[in-house]
Structure 1
Amino acid sequence: MRLLPLLLLAFVLAACSEPVSGQAAPAPVFAAGTPVELRVVTPGGGTTLTDKQGATYEVGPVVLVLDHFTKVEAVFRPEGGGFVVGVSLPADLGEKFGKLTEENVGKQVAMVANGQVLSAPTINSPIPGGDIEITGNFTRDEAEALAASLGGR
């Protein structure tokens, strides 16, 4: 019977322990307030969408939905000309995003939220790891509003 309190104490102490040294704790994953659809730009077919400046894009079907993240934030990039929205994906989406970019090098992929194109970059090389910057000549307020709508800050 005296063994039970010792086992209970050992269990409590084990539950309170720190992660193993050298191993980062996984980042918390949160759901997107506004999911981001990724669609390959396909001239001559598909759905026509516009960006905030009124430019039109013909896009194919949704190939990936970014609906949960580990980090979303508005970031100022002086070397890149202004504000962007930085997004970090959890491992499952990061792997899918890497595969999508690998399969579409040289093509434009539209990032769409609420039916509007946020950005439609050309993929120059595969992007592994799941760290993305959404660019779009955003003002500070626009970048912060987009980050907030995605669930970030």
Structure 2
Amino acid sequence: MRKPVLTALVAALFLLTGLLVAGCGGEPVAGAPTEQPGSGPVKARVPVELRPVTSVKPGLEVSGPDEVIGPDNTVYTLAPSIGEFTEFEDVRAEKTESGWVVTIKLPAATSALFTKWTTEHVDEQLAIMVDGTLISAPRIASPITGGSLQITGNFTEDAAKKLAADITGGTP
């Protein structure tokens, strides 16, 4: 599997290969997502924790409390959390011209944190932890501004829906 990759504003999340996180603007554009209407405010059943990735190594053996096995059967060493998030404006799987993506709209307070952190950590990985499980570790391609992020990468419809559900603790 290829390593996850973040692009544009924020791309963060799933266990398929080639993940790419992209920011979303407020204006409709050609190829913009067309699936599923907005779901309104979404409360995660368990907090979503975001932790910087400090190193990655092959294997299935962890040697400390800050190591976790990722969905790609790789050991990730994580730095302290940058925050836990329990509310989102929207989380959904959508089909675009380039394939299935997961779009996340953040509340204003979370958006400000993401903008600051991603601006300072471009080209680094960010682990998305849900209930102690690493569900994705995308790479930040550019600062995420504007409150909306998109996780992309070779997703099938089912995989994108599963990732969206994993983020909120729901079912696809």
TM class by smaller structure: 0.5 to 0.7
Q: Which stretches of structure 1, 4 residues or longer, exceed 6 Å deviation after superposition?
A: none
Greater relative contact order: 1 or 2 (C-alpha under 8 angstroms, separation 6 or more)? 2
Residue 77 (structure 2) pairs with residue 65 (structure 1): no
Q: Distance in 1 between matches of 2:42 and 2:129?
A: 19
Q: Structure 1, unaligned stretches of length 5 or more?
A: 1-26
Given the two structures, how large is their TM-score scaled by the length of structure 2? 0.60
Identity %: 39
SS in 2 for 1:85: strand
Aligned Cα root-mean-square deviation (Å) = 2.8
Residue 81 (structure 2) pairs with residue 56 (structure 1): no
Q: How does 1:1-153 map to 2 (within 5 A)?
A: 28-43=40-55, 47-79=66-98, 82-135=99-152, 137-149=154-166, 150=168
| Greater percentage in helix | 1
Equivalent pair of 1:118/1:134 in contact (CA under 8 Å): no
Deviations 1:51-101 (A, max 9, x none): 22212211111112221011110123452xx43321100111111111110
Larger C-alpha radius of gyration, 1 or 2?
1
SS in 2 for 1:53: coil
